[in-house]
Amino acid sequence: MRLSTRTIALIALAGALSAGTASPSLLAGTSVVPSIDYTVSIPSLGAETFFVTATLHNVIHDTTTFYFPIWAPGAYDIVNFGRFVRDFSATNTDGSRLTVTRPDSNSFTLSGAKNGNVKIVYSVHDIGQIPNSMWFCLSDIEPNFAFAVGAALFGYPSGGKELPYTVRYNVPAGWDIAIGLDPMSGGKNTYRARDYDELIDAPLDMGKFQRYDFKVNGKPHVITVHSPKPLSGAAGKSIVDMTRKIVEQETAFFGDMPYDRYIFQHYLVDPQPGDSFFGALEHRNSSTYRMPYVEGEDLIQELAPVIAHEFWHLWSPKRIHVAQLGPFDYQHPPRTASLWFAEGLTEYYAKVFMLRNGMGSRERFLGETNSFVAPSYGQPQTRSMTELSMQLPDLPTQETIGLYTKGPILGMLLDIAIRQRTGGKMSLDDVMRRFNEEYGKTGRTFTDEEIIPEMEKITGVKLGDFYTKYIAGHEPLPYDEFLPAVGLKIISKEVKRPVVGGTFEKVANGLRVASVSAGGTLDSTGLKVGDVLEKIGLGADGQGQTFDLNDAPLNALDQVLAQVPISVKLSFIVRRNGGEVTVPVNYATSNVTLHLIAVDDHAPAAAVAARKQMLNF
């Protein structure tokens, strides 16, 4: 998953799903193959409810438990999807009702099954928005479309994740459907999945969308677009050309296309106040995007790096992954210390491919990189990458930003370290290709602890010190040690920056002002002790895009003011004396020294050549 706002970018883990062997607990004898068929309908769009029927064939046990996932692969946040299931009932083929009890919010116990077949009926209200979860990780029914991740619609019986599944969608009149599952011949809008993992890793995309088709190496690719107004012919062609270029380059990099067809599902929206995060979530052979609607070339600039990120996930971590990332226990989120590998390196390559295919610029790459470097240069890491990886399921979204801004920089420094220590004979490119050969194409997995030794085996150089200090450790990142090897350097620049001038306490709906210092931004803006800063808005009147602070870290305002130019007008939305007030921010500034990555115009020719090969500038 890759999340982004206009000022920060986040990435969250997308898991790899793999099949296991069938459990005998559901087999009705060796000659009968059990299976599960689903039907999904939306009788009334206004009701915003999916109606689901599941038929369990050849389930012979009198009692079984039917589970709904507590989380969806790729998101890591705990949703407890069973909370949204209503009117759950089960019957035998003769119409007799089974006894249904609900041990907890995510499971149902069925007793009294006969003849090996059971029909289950339930409804699921769309989820749309819940705290600390992204839209594209949930479900939504609107007048012109319906979207749902598989975890929001489908459950599984105990021992039945490895069984074959089919699903038929009853598509509303005038709508189209695009889904990653293979269609079944002879059944309209009916699809098959080899197992439960495949079923829920193919999100539903139905509605009145624009559709674009293209092929790469003979394999079909589909782009669907929902937008506030139809895209022009030129805009549609630009999206197709950009997407094709990314597909061609990344499949050429790995040397394979691990799918029969691929679907890009785009939901473009007009940003609304409070609409803080956009981004995408990848799946086995599809990806879903919720991005701001803009016109012209700006749309391509918004979409391209996100598509490059999601498409890379086809290999890492969908196929190249640690054992914790598949097959999944949907009742417990997996924990791994190696999200720096699965996500940080993915975002590094998303940026690199923008440069290598000519869609990115040196200025944008350095600008995005320096948004992290400037406030962190020379500073110890307060939380290591491995610690952040392990804690990710428990953290509010805003507190995960360190993993997703620092991750690509670690990837860049690791790439330089490999190139430097091998005299330019090896690079991170070689590492990723070998991982695909050894693990992606074979289905083998590895452990967190095996990643660095495997890299050392591939490259022939020691990397344990890099891991211990900068990935698992807290030492400041080694810019000065490695950047000169590729003709880059750190420069110092004095600029005016806002001074917060106060401290905060975390409360349920934001950050409560605990102290105000004279001469700081809080003082000059008129905030008082006890005020609760709920949101930061773009624009002095609070009517632009706003960013909720209900789950923000205590230093959230410091982070924002450290990166926003003082020419940008902001507003604070504040809870005061039981009411809400909007106040324009009046910056109080001081001179600060920023440390930034820049091109070294006097670098040796070998270093310039290494940078050109690595970053294409």
Least confident of 27-36, 500-509, 560-569: 27-36
Burial of 521 (0-12, 13-18, 19+ CB in 10 A): buried
DSSP characters for 400-454?
GHHHHHHHHHHHHHHHHHHHHHTTTS--HHHHHHHHIIIIITT---B-GGGHHHH
Highest mean pLDDT among 72-76, 133-137, 499-503: 499-503
With 60 as the cut, is the pLDDT of residue 10 above it?
A: no
Q: What percent of the chain has pLDDT over 90?
A: 76
Please indicate, yes or no, if residue 529 is contained in any of the structural domains. Answer: yes
Cα distance between residue 366 and residue 519, in whole Å: 33
Q: Do both 294 and 172 map to the same domain?
A: yes
Q: Do both 453 and 573 map to the same domain?
A: no
Q: Which of 365, 381, 598 is nearest to 480 (CA)?
A: 598
With 90 as the cut, is the pLDDT of residue 53 above it?
A: yes
Q: Do both 78 and 17 map to the same domain?
A: yes
User: What is the DSSP code (8-state) at residue 585?
Assistant: -
Residue 204 is predicted with a pLDDT of: 98
Please indicate, yes or no, if residue 173 is contained in any of the structural domains. Answer: yes
What digits encode the pLDDT tens for the residues 344-368? 999 999 999 999 999 999 999 999 9
With 80 as the cut, is the pLDDT of residue 275 above it?
A: no
User: What is the DSSP code (8-state) at residue 483?
Assistant: G
Please indicate, yes or no, if residue 326 is contained in any of the structural domains. Answer: no
What digits encode the pLDDT tens for the residues 406-432? 999 999 999 999 999 999 999 999 999
Please indicate, yes or no, if residue 324 is contained in any of the structural domains. Answer: no
Strands 176-178 and 204-207: antiparallel
The Cα angle at residue 493 between residues 399 and 8, in degrees rounded to 5: 25
With 70 as the cut, is the pLDDT of residue 593 above it?
A: yes
Q: Do both 443 and 544 map to the same domain?
A: no
Cα distance between residue 149 and residue 574, in whole Å: 35
Q: Do both 459 and 521 map to the same domain?
A: no
Domain that holds residue 301: 11-312
Q: Do both 139 and 101 map to the same domain?
A: yes
Q: What percent of the chain has pLDDT over 70?
A: 94
**Could you say which of 280, 312, 344 is where a domain stops?**
312
300 touches 289 (CB < 8 A): no
Please indicate, yes or no, if residue 593 is contained in any of the structural domains. Answer: no
Please indicate, yes or no, if residue 2 is contained in any of the structural domains. Answer: no
Q: Do both 341 and 295 map to the same domain?
A: no
With 90 as the cut, is the pLDDT of residue 395 above it?
A: no
Please indicate, yes or no, if residue 492 is contained in any of the structural domains. Answer: no
Number of domains comprising the chain:
3
What digits encode the pLDDT tens for the residues 449-470? 999 999 999 999 999 999 999 9
Q: Do both 147 and 52 map to the same domain?
A: yes
Query: H-helix or E-strand containing 122?
Result: strand 118-125
Q: Do both 174 and 115 map to the same domain?
A: yes
